[in-house]
Each structure stands twice: as structure tokens, then as C-alpha cells.
Amino acid sequence: MYIAMNRFKVQNGSEDAFEDVWKNRDSSLSDMKGFREFHLLRGPVNENEGYTLFASHTVWASHEDFVAWTKSENFRAAHRNAGTSKVHYLGHPQFEGFSVVEGA
């Protein structure tokens, strides 16, 4: 099993717009081989730096299935309009990928 996460620093005041982008997107993840589940996670507010931390969290059957997603037309279509919303970010998303330690 493989877990892929992107961490987003969303400028204070843009949280609702950010959530709306995810809630209203035309996702084709469920069409992809090996896709298991998706969650959008809302983390803590960092008042000093002016952002709320979010993470997209996907679970895949394998790392190979995730890589196939990133090379697919579905992936390109899903990210085609990235950066055109009214959401203000602090920096670029930070990717983190994890292989599940079986039996732990």
C-alpha cells in the first residue's frame, strides 16, 4: 500500500475557497487502477505566518499505481486549471509519499 500526500499552506481567509475547489472538482481518481481512498485534511492555523495547513491524502494499492496516475491523462486533466482559482497559497504544495510497513 502507498500513501501520497500534498501539504498546502493556504493564506488565512482563503480556506473556504480552497475547500470549494476540492469539493467541486471533477475527480476521476476512482477510475484509476489501485486507487483506494481520498481525504482532504484541514490542519492547524499558523497565526504568526498567516496560513492554515491542509493536506490531500490518497491511498493506493501500490507505489506503481500511484506513479501510473501521475503519468495519466486523468492526472493532467485534474491539474489543468491549477493556480487559476481565487485561493492564495504560501509557497508550492509539498509532496510526501509513504510505503505502508506491513505487519506493523
Confidence (pLDDT) at 83: 61
* Per-residue pLDDT in tens (0 to 9) along the chain, 104 residues: 999 999 999 999 999 999 998 888 778 888 899 999 999 999 999 999 999 999 999 999 999 999 999 998 888 877 676 666 667 899 999 999 999 999 99
Decide if 93 contacts 6 (C-beta within 8 A): yes
pLDDT at 87: 79
DSSP state, residue 14: -
Confidence (pLDDT) at 85: 65
Task: State pTM to two decimals.
Answer: 0.86
Q: Quick check: 99 and 2 in contact, CB under 8 A?
A: yes
